[in-house]
Amino acid sequence: MKKLVILPTYNESKNISNIIDMLLNLGIDIDILIVDDNSPDNTAQIVKQYNSSNVFIEERAEKNGLGSAYIHGFNWALENRYDKIIQMDADLSHDPSEVPAMFDLLDSYDLVIGSRYDGGLRVINWPISRLYISYFANLYARLITGVPIKDLTAGFKGWKSETLHLINFNESSSQGYCFQIETSFRAYQKACKLVEHPIVFTDRTVGESKMSKNVMIEAIFKVWLFGFWRLFKLKK
Domain boundaries, the chain: 3-231
Least confident of 5-9, 21-25, 82-86, 140-144: 140-144
Non-local (6+) Cβ contacts of 49 within 8 A are none
Whole-angstrom Cα distance, residue 21 to residue 5?
13
Q: Which CATH architecture has domain 3-231?
A: Alpha-Beta Complex (3.90)
| Per-residue pLDDT tens over the stretch 37-87 | 999 999 999 999 998 999 999 999 998 889 999 999 999 999 999 999 999
The pTM score is 0.90
Per DSSP, the chain holds a count of helices (H) and strands (E) of 8, 9
Contact between 147 and 230 under an 8 Å Cβ cutoff? The reply is no
Contact between 56 and 130 under an 8 Å Cβ cutoff? The reply is no
Least confident of 43-47, 148-152, 194-198, 202-206: 202-206
Among residues 216, 140, 139, 154, which one has the least CA distance to residue 187? 154
pLDDT band at 114 (very low <50, low <70, confident <90, very high): very high
Non-local (6+) Cβ contacts of 189 within 8 A are 229, 230, 235, 236
